Chain A
Amino acid sequence: MATEARDRIAARDRVEQRRRPAEVPSTVRDDSEDEMVVSFPEFVFKEFIAAVAMTAFLILVSVWLQAPLLGQANPGMTPNPSKAPWYFLGLQELLSRFPPLMAGVAFPTFVIVLMILVPFLDRNPSRRPSERKVAIILFALYTAIVVALVIIGTFFRGHEFVWDWGWVLGNPQTCGGSPC
């Protein structure tokens, strides 16, 4: 049993080593000389710590912070403004600015397809940040736009989804009693 297991480990190590160099882009640091460690318990321990920290964080937040529950759904009474969940507010923001076909359909489809194609569009073989300035700047720009749209949608859109400084001026708009 012992020798069998050791053989299997050795065989796997050989496979991992054989596979890697050929597939790694040539401009990446060669890691084949790096120290090998067993993933259990070295790595599993780190994961365990991360999981425990996340659990503790969630329990703390959940004890202190009540999830919103407004009045019962009433199809006859539309709150104004009506807002999508925050991760869709970027889309809603676009919808308020551009024709619906463009903002609601063409644009999201384009972004999803573009994202899937990223590895094929980015012809630069390097993984070093210093050699990928264009890609990183584009990504930073994309992130900045998404974050800005979500923040605008969350905090700066009031009645009829028109611009509202209320949140900055200290009287945040509400959606039926709780902050939007």
Chain B
Amino acid sequence: MTVIRAALDEMFAVIGQMVGSVFRHGLPLTDKIAARTALTNFFLHIHPVRVRRSWIRMSYTLCLGGLSFFLFIVLTVTGLFLMFYYVPSTSHAYQDMRDLQFVVTFGGVIRNMHRWAAHAMVITVWLHMARVFLTGSYKKPREFNWGVGTLLLLITLLLSFTGYLLPWDQLSIWAVTVGTNMAKYAPIAGPYTRYLLIGGRVVGDNALLRFYVLHVVGLPLAAFLLMVVHFWRVRKDGFSGGL
């Protein structure tokens, strides 16, 4: 009996050690425990340990920066799923989209989520910018972060735009033809820029591959890096807080 008891005790101790190695401080029942958790947890350390209540009023940030970031995560996850099925070539892309829509389990819902989240992100980023402007939060010392934000807005638009081509349907190819035609009008560099962008004179296989690579690797990487800088600066400059 005592042998079994000892074995059980040992087992519970090991389980306790396992859980404790992940969740070091238990439930955040007191401020002290909560603060210690925030200090030692990688995913929480993006926040200051303590904030003033006036900085985190939802009526102030409207959560718009956070929601933009969250939508970026949703897009990364759903996009990863789409990549399992999608081949960026003019002979496969369209059929792959139809398969996603009609054959793959939950493929249609995931594609829709990716699509609507992309539209939503354009809107939340724009509204976040409006919030920052209307509260004058770009003023000293946050001038630089406003600039980083402007680049993020641009990259968000470019991400949406490059993604627009990928289904390779009549909507994509002509929207992108119209869009890239705008680049043509720049003096001297214009036609070359367009050629570089779509790898030819018309939107075809090269354009699809270039947009795909930009959409799934180049631009997300740039966006991620800029977001890291953006969040770092929000921490260093402090939340702008109440008016």
* A contact residues vs B (CB 8 Å cutoff): 2, 5-6, 8-9, 12-13, 16, 19-20, 23, 25, 28-29, 31, 34-44, 46-47, 50-51, 54-55, 58-59, 61-63, 65-75, 77-79, 82-85, 87-88, 91-92, 95, 100-101, 104-105, 112, 115-116, 118-120, 122, 125-129, 132, 135-136, 139, 143, 175-176, 178
Cβ contact within 8 Å between B173 and A66: no
B203 within 8 A of A: yes
A23, A73, A128: which contacts B238 (Cβ < 8 A)?
A: A23
Docked-complex contact A38 and B138, CB < 8 angstroms: no
A141 to chain B, nearest CB (A): 12
Contact sample, A vs B, 10 pairs, CB 8 Å cutoff: A35-B52, A40-B38, A54-B74, A73-B172, A78-B174, A87-B157, A88-B182, A104-B186, A105-B182, A119-B138
- Besides the known contacts A44-B44, A67-B111, 11 further A-B residue pairs in the complex with CB atoms under 8 A apart: A9-B39, A16-B238, A25-B139, A37-B51, A50-B70, A51-B67, A67-B116, A73-B94, A75-B202, A105-B190, A122-B136
Whether B49 pairs with A119 at a CB distance below 8 angstroms is no
Determine how close the nearest CB of chain A comes to the CB of B223; give it in whole angstroms.
16
**CB neighbours of A29 from chain B (8 A):** 242-243
Select from chain A the residue with minimum beta-carbon distance to B114. Answer: A67
B53 surroundings in chain A (CB, below 8 A): 34-37
Residue of B nearest to A73 (CB): B173
